[in-house]
Structure 1
Amino acid sequence: MRVLYFFFTFFVLSSFSMANPNYPFKQANLPIEKRVDDLLSRMTIEEKALQLSQLMIGPNDNPNNAVTKKQLFNPRIGSFIYFQADVDKRNEYQRVAVEETRLGIPLLFAYDVIHGFRTVYPISIAQACSFNTNLVNEAARMAAAEATASGLNWTFSPMVDVARDPRWGRVSEGYGEDPFVNSAFCVATVKGYQGEDLTAPDTLAACLKHYVGYSESMAGLDYAYTDISDRSMWETYLPPFKAGVDAGVATVMSGFNDINGVPAVCNTFYLKDVLRKRWGFDGAVVSDWGAIQQLKNQGFSSDPLVGGVAALKSGNDIDMESKIYTKIPKMIDNGLINEADIDKAVRNVLRLKFRLGIFENPYTKKVLDPYLKDEYREVAEQLAIESSVLLKNDNVLPLESGQKIYLCGNLLNDKEALLGSWLAHGNTNDVVGIKEGLIAHLNQGSELVDRADEADVIILCIGETKKMSGENGSRSSLQLHNALEVDEYTKFDKPIVLVVGSGRPISYQLLEPKVDAIMHLWQPGVEAGNALAKLIFGIANPSGKLAMTFPRTVGQIPVFYNKHQSARVGNKNWSGLYQDIESTPMYWFGHGLSYTTFSYHDLKINEETLEAKVNVTNTGERKGKETLLWYVIDPEAKITQPLKKLKNFEKIDLEPGETKIVSFHIRPEEHLSYVDSKGAIHLEPGIFYIEVGGLKASLTLD
């Protein structure tokens, strides 16, 4: 049955026919730029305006994206956010665009595939705690395979906003507080989505977001103003985006935020001077949802045409859902913009479409059973295992055989919370629940009991619900809403294992003394139960380390490991420390325990080859994974430097008693330099220190 379509009143379907197949832009053997030139030369102003507009198709599953009335389908729109997974319907939309419009320009179908499409993997902040970029690359590759099988060409991921305020709900979508970690996982994810060839049927165009500084929102409030120094931009917030551009990312999304008085969506300096000119990015830039329209709220202009012109001239190519770029013909008539400005943006959009190969292959072929394959679930489980962080363990875990276990807490019956925010097409029916997983992996002689007073150990599984973090999920407190449940079980005088699920760091200041072990599970995805059970029973060994510092209370925010030194140091009077609590956080970046122990020794630096080497030994009785975090310390510089900066990490496997020599090749321009407020790189001679595993060695650079 044909789908009934609605078109704008100026569009008459019957007046167009498919474009001449002999047009140069139709010739796949021609260079992309020649094809772009030819197609651009044939387009009307109206057609160009529509190529720069993005709307949605299908029911909107994101409550943060306001849609006041039903969207009408126009096949000449450049791209659509496709909320469904119906390949037939998607192909029919595409057929109308390709076969029944004047030039036959295919549509782009986009969606937020953040941590999986149907197979939902751990949230991004959890992925970073794995410190396993290879595993995250695999997860992104598999997510791309599921998404493309459902008709998508483009995902609005990864989010690489360096985040240091856990009150901000969107910390769940990124890779934590460190620019190097964000950069590493950015590259892994981009390459996972895009593969080696964007024309391959199972690859997605990736999108770096939110460019730039969005995570520095005042007071942790979403969509808020950001006040960031120029040097902080170059030192902290820009590097992950640069890494993504260097990795060949196809698209970038500008942020909602106002950067020092100039909103990101129309910020010429960052969009044009830095991204385009300095870095050489030639992909497409898309606004966030309604961001151009929201320039009015930010005090930029109440005239949507003025806002649209500012965004377009600044280098924002695609208008997501503001519907302002559809008014480009009026902007030209009013003398606000010229066609050359429009052509630059259209060229970027057309180039993206040619790079994706959708002119040659506009339709999605149906794939039998594309979701939740065994290998997808295996990666989801392993990533959930390596993402979980053992924060405390007073010799309770792993549980021994023959124990009676009482299992309780809200996470037992809230599978949606285990999937987390931005679950895409994830389904709670696909989730291995916590109780289900523990029953499947119970060790010999152990059993679940129905009463806490009959148990040998209590496993309390509590945490945030899905909606408590993610976009528009800002919170003024880091205390869990159900933290008082711990008090209900301390009266039994039994060992308590606290399992916590969340999309952000939470406050353990009051909880930690009351329990014997803490496993921070984050929001682990479809294999939650299996992953947790294997960790609890010692089938797997915890190896996650925090990618974001956990403060004791919100009063310590912002707190992060790579801060600058205070003018006064030490713990004596007049040191400037907190008077009412410990000034150190609850758990630093990089904290994470194991069921085995590791010893670092013999750290040496060859100053001729600039090779640092260290021996790492598994001194325990279990096989384990250890992540080496290599820091550089620059104690004296003309522009003062952070206490230390992470410059490399590597995860290794060690059998009991095994020793491995691990090396880090120091490249001075990359690892020993710093940037100034204009982004210029400075490398000064002097003494540097390399730190790893609590050891420190000096290096003199002449």
Structure 2
Amino acid sequence: MLDAAEAGGLPASVEALIGRMTIEEKCGQLNLMPAAWGGGVATALNPPTNGPSFDGQLADVVAGRITGVFNGNGAEMARRMQTAVMRQSRLKIPLIFAADVIHGHRTIFPVPVGEAASFEPDLARRTARVAAYEAAGAGIDWTFFPMVDIARDQRWGRTMEGAGEDPRLGELFAVARVKGFQGDDLTANDAVMACVKHFAAYGAGESGLDYNSVDLSERTLREVYLPPYRAGFGAGAGSGMASFNEIAGIPSHGNPWLLQKILRDEWGYKGFIVGDYTGDEEMIAAGFARDSRDATRIAFLAGVDMSMASNNYWLHLPGLVRDGTVPQEVLDRSVRRVLAAKHMLGLFDDPFRRIDAKREKARTRAKPSLALAREAARRSIVMLKNDGDVLPLSKSAKVALIGPFAEGQHDLNGPWVVYGDNAQAVDLATGVRAAGVASVTVTAGSGVEQALPGGIAAAVAAAQAADVVVLAIGESESMSGEAQSRTEIVVPAPQQELAEAVAKTGKPVVVVLKNGRGLALAGAVRAAPAILVTWFLGSESGHAIADVLFGAYSPSGRLPCSFPYESGQEPYHYAHKATGRPAATLTEPYKAKYRTTLNEALYPFGHGLTYGKIAYSDLRVPATMAWDGTLEVSATVANTGTRAAEEVVQLYVHDRVASITRPVREMKAFRKVALAPGARETVTFRLTRADLEFIGLEMKPTVEPGQFDLWIAPSAQAEGVKGTFELRAA
């Protein structure tokens, strides 16, 4: 049994509640349900259920059958439910109100993978802080975020929710987002409890298929997929969420090795774990549980403290406790964890601390929040290509905006937005006109996944009459996100045909991609002289893109996920193994390559250009590193161009010989530096032996003496400046 300290310092009055609670009331504290009075598009985001009416749900909370609800309809709904509980329930245990606040509440920020492209964890902390400020103002205590799953298969739709393919980047953004949501004081009325999800390795589903099986080695799990979770939990996240997938045949909702041995015993985590939407029930279809009662037994004993949406814990857990299948002390332990979270949120002191309709209105889309949304959006944009310095564009140029995303209040916020409204977001045409561009025409040319009658002809005519084409193409909101896996991560055929036709006019084309994942670019899209990756940027989309297009802001984003040459390369990540037959050219026979491309990316992790001209030189790396010492390495980074720039300087290493084969490169650190025209800066990194560790033969972190390659470079494939050093034995 947890003591009071483990439970978060429960006061005696709250601890005493456990002794007064019936088994049913205890199980009710572990039962989370979707709000009957839903908010925004919540009902479309989650599978439909035959839930009760709002009055029926009020009766449930008064009777103690539910611990709280999620994705509800704001402060007024929360006020009515909390009032009913505090006036009419037997024990008056406050409800907890949760929501999917993934990349903003009412003010919408870039999708998380786009925000990760900023390579600025503190930006993520700041946007999470604003999201918490708005959400808490609407009565929300708890968000189901951050998602920290590593995504190395861009076919997976939920790539957009995380920080991409690299564990180090994932760790830093996990910490930043937890701290941003929870703030300095979790009892504050602008703080929201974070939930690290999905535990674990959800992003490694076979074939990039959502909800699919995961089968990987324990070593890969510990080296690649677990570090961001551990970082998020270590940052103080009050809760975690089990993942839909299985690992090596065991569903995460029923995996005590994952939820107990690793999370509790190894990492010492004290918070509570909630299941994902009907995740316990889904073990039946997976062939792991006989029925709902069996699924409840498996999930609860494995370590899922709270059930979401299935109602199983209310229906079956009391009986399992009474017949001795579930020990009473295990039930009490989970109840204590949940009550501890409510206590840490300040709900026992003031159940209404985040419920205030006037505050909700005052905090919605405030000017500073929208200003941050614009800043975050432009910092998330990645310039892949700028041949001939096509960008930035002149405001005096005749600009033809062409494509299904050129204009209109659609597909701006991005997937997984419960409370935001595309009608309040700024589209591209509006942003370009607001930038003061003298001549702008807008032509759709095609739909997202279907041709438009006469669309290509109209687009060609518009291009011919213009000086430059801005081609706004890519994915719609419905093509990315949960349950939106794609077999071909390409620009849809009608848009590709549009691009080919426009390119034939000979006018310079700037491709503005809308996407929630890495894409395989082809034909006229790949050949365009300039390409911007703009993800789904949220409330200030159009203004931010215009800022970059016309030079008010020099692009500073870098890819958090690799763009392959072809879809068939997926799963692809930069930190792959060399194999015993590495390929240097396409013509070498019997090497690790495809018939049409090498095992590398068209645009790799870390890649991105600026309006400056960046050069790397003067690598300084000592020849040796002492076993217990520090290796200080540096390089000079210069902006030889005529425009200011921000460069993301990245440090990679490769262990040449080890008892476990090592990736061709692993990013260990990065630093973003601002460089005026003609400026140069010496960028210094420090490595310790711990930075060189890997999971060894005994499945524990280890490191071995030997030679290491080292790069300070602008991407995972760029040479930058390269050196070597030797780690000497103790």
Aligned partner letter, 1:554? S
Q: How big is the shift at 1:676?
A: 3.1
Q: How big is the shift at 1:401?
A: 4.3
Q: How big is the shift at 1:216?
A: 1.0
Question: What value does the CA root-mean-square deviation take over the aligned residues?
Answer: 1.9
1:457-504 Cα deviation digits (max 9, x unpaired): 111111211111100111111122222210231232211111110111
Quick check: 1:438 aligned with 2:470? no
* Secondary structure of 1:209 counterpart: strand
1:145-189 Cα deviation digits (max 9, x unpaired): 000000000000010000111111100111100111111100010
Aligned to 2:498: 485
C-alpha contact (below 8 Å) 1:36/1:347 kept by paired residues: no
Distance, in Å, in 1 between the alignment partners of 2:155 and 2:408 is 23
Aligned to 1:656: 677
Name which of 264, 282, 289 aligns with 2:277.
289
**Long gaps (5+) in structure 1:** 1-24
Name which of 594, 608, 611 aligns with 1:578.
594
* Secondary structure of 1:417 counterpart: coil
Say which is worse superposed, 105-114 or 479-488, in terms of deviation. Answer: 479-488
Say which is worse superposed, 486-495 or 249-258, in terms of deviation. Answer: 486-495
Name which of 337, 343, 358 aligns with 1:348.
337
Residues 495 and 566 from structure 1, CA distance in 2 versus in 1: closer, same or farther, beyond 3 angstroms?
Answer: same
Distance, in Å, in 1 between the alignment partners of 2:671 and 2:226 is 23
Aligned to 1:370: 363
Aligned to 1:185: 173
Q: How big is the shift at 1:609?
A: 4.4
Query: 1:448-597, aligned counterparts within 5 Å?
Result: 448=441, 451-481=462-492, 482-569=495-582, 570-571=584-585, 572-597=588-613
Q: How big is the shift at 1:414?
A: 4.5
* Secondary structure of 1:291 counterpart: coil
Question: What TM-score does the superposition give when structure 1 sets the normalisation length?
Answer: 0.93
Distance, in Å, in 2 between the alignment partners of 1:651 and 1:511 is 32
C-alpha contact (below 8 Å) 1:421/1:467 kept by paired residues: yes
Aligned to 1:335: 324
Quick check: 1:399 aligned with 2:393? yes
Aligned to 2:124: 136
* Secondary structure of 2:340 counterpart: helix
**Long gaps (5+) in structure 2:** 444-461, 714-719
Aligned to 2:449: none
Q: How big is the shift at 1:514?
A: 4.0
C-alpha contact (below 8 Å) 1:135/1:379 kept by paired residues: no
Residues 182 and 87 from structure 1, CA distance in 2 versus in 1: closer, same or farther, beyond 3 angstroms?
Answer: same
Aligned partner letter, 1:39? L
Residues 387 and 317 from structure 1, CA distance in 2 versus in 1: closer, same or farther, beyond 3 angstroms?
Answer: same
Query: 1:641-680, aligned counterparts within 5 Å?
Result: 641-669=662-690, 671-676=691-696, 679-680=699-700
1:189-231 Cα deviation digits (max 9, x unpaired): 0000001110011001000110001111111111111111110
Residues 63 and 141 from structure 1, CA distance in 2 versus in 1: closer, same or farther, beyond 3 angstroms?
Answer: closer
Q: How big is the shift at 1:683?
A: 1.8
Residues 449 and 647 from structure 1, CA distance in 2 versus in 1: closer, same or farther, beyond 3 angstroms?
Answer: closer
Aligned to 1:266: 254
Say which is worse superposed, 96-105 or 312-321, in terms of deviation. Answer: 96-105
Distance, in Å, in 2 between the alignment partners of 1:449 and 1:122 is 24
Q: Alignment identity in percent?
A: 36
Distance, in Å, in 1 between the alignment partners of 2:25 and 2:337 is 15
Distance, in Å, in 1 between the alignment partners of 2:138 and 2:88 is 23
Aligned to 1:379: 372
Quick check: 1:611 aligned with 2:632? yes
Residues 96 and 401 from structure 1, CA distance in 2 versus in 1: closer, same or farther, beyond 3 angstroms?
Answer: closer
C-alpha contact (below 8 Å) 2:9/2:340 kept by paired residues: no
Q: How big is the shift at 1:429?
A: 2.2
Distance, in Å, in 2 between the alignment partners of 1:636 and 1:168 is 33
Quick check: 1:620 aligned with 2:598? no
Distance, in Å, in 2 between the alignment partners of 1:254 and 1:150 is 26
Residues 252 and 652 from structure 1, CA distance in 2 versus in 1: closer, same or farther, beyond 3 angstroms?
Answer: same
Distance, in Å, in 2 between the alignment partners of 1:506 and 1:414 is 23
Aligned to 1:408: 402
Aligned partner letter, 2:681? K
Residues 196 and 406 from structure 1, CA distance in 2 versus in 1: closer, same or farther, beyond 3 angstroms?
Answer: same
Aligned to 2:456: none
Residues 403 and 113 from structure 1, CA distance in 2 versus in 1: closer, same or farther, beyond 3 angstroms?
Answer: same
Name which of 25, 40, 60 aligns with 1:47.
25
C-alpha contact (below 8 Å) 2:100/2:145 kept by paired residues: yes
Aligned to 1:250: 238
* Secondary structure of 2:129 counterpart: helix
Residues 63 and 85 from structure 1, CA distance in 2 versus in 1: closer, same or farther, beyond 3 angstroms?
Answer: closer
Distance, in Å, in 2 between the alignment partners of 1:609 and 1:580 is 43
Distance, in Å, in 2 between the alignment partners of 1:353 and 1:78 is 14
Distance, in Å, in 1 between the alignment partners of 2:710 and 2:44 is 45
Name which of 357, 366, 388 aligns with 2:346.
357
Q: How big is the shift at 1:115?
A: 0.3
